[in-house]
Amino acid sequence: MLHTKDTYIVTMRKDGKIALGECNLFKGLSYDDRPDYEDKLQEICRRIPEEGENLLSELSNWPSIRFGMEMMLLDWQNDCKQEIFPQVIGDEGFSIPINGLIWMGPHDYMMEQVTTKLSEGYTSIKLKVGAIDFQSELELIRYIRREFSADEVEIRLDANGAFTPTEAKEKLDRLAKYDIHYMEQPIRAGQWQETARLVEDSPIKIALDEELIGINTANRQRELIETIRPAILILKPALLGGFKACDDWTALLEDIGGYRIITSALESNIGLNAIAQYAALTASPHAYGLGTGMLYSNNFPSPYHVDAQGLHYRRDQTWDFSSLT
């Protein structure tokens, strides 16, 4: 359980303008969570004004730093307006669909979240499973299906690797009758052969998330995709190395007929803004996982708001970066 989360904001300033990037280090999960992280970040900050984009290729083993620097450079190139991909922003802004996320916790707490999201009108619900007993989790899912058909509400599940290889297939079989959109990371990352067998045998589509972390070379990425052949990839730019890295994963997945879902990883609104604009570059029938910014009590005030219809950027609203000065 997290009560606080440290975030590194990198800036480039010139003539009163400021370009921003977020290096979203996720303790205990990021590949670059190591003791010399701040030393590396200071080094890159010294070098980036002169070396620019050429420096990004050196950062495959520092995915969160690469993400932040790529974001900052794009902001700089686009006149420091926090319009990272300005082509997606219309006269009034833009909107993209998102799923409603149900956080792990006791049964009553999860049920309360489910009923709230459904009453608000969400049509895609993602539940974290594996934290409470399986029967209680089935009860939550049965409740949704009693109230709404699969055509009305999509159910996504994320086990975060909580199932063992021996029990995963039986649980997937029991879940299948509830018309689940996908099961994300059913077993712990690193078990490629076991995951490949699940993908082949499962009645529910398998999505990979943590499995991708630390797979930073083109050959190894292709090997993973060709071995497991997942239906879906959950792409988190901060954990994979930015937008170019996500593009590389997407190309490999599309070669085998799969599709991606762009998702945030507890970014502040600065990082969320960049990810949302990146997601909006490509039309998709699938909701994104971009609603986590509401968790923070001290987030940067932004032009974004979230409701059951999606994540909305309003051009007539402004940013407030006074806390950075």
128 belongs to the catalytic site: yes
169 belongs to the catalytic site: no
Active-site residue, from 117, 126, 171, 236: 236
Report residue 115 as tokens: 């009923």
Active-site residue, from 117, 126, 128, 171: 128
Burial of 8 (0-12, 13-18, 19+ CB in 10 A): middle
Radius of gyration of the chain (CA): 20
The DSSP line for 242-295 is: SHHHHHHHHHHHHHTT-EEEEB--S--HHHHHHHHHHHTTS--SS-BB--GGGG
Give the separation between CA 196 and CA 226, rounded to whole angstroms: 9
Which neighbouring-strand residues pair with 17?
A: 14
Give the separation between CA 75 and CA 59, rounded to whole angstroms: 19
Tokens 């149900």 correspond to: 102
DSSP 100: E
Which residues carry out catalysis? 128, 236
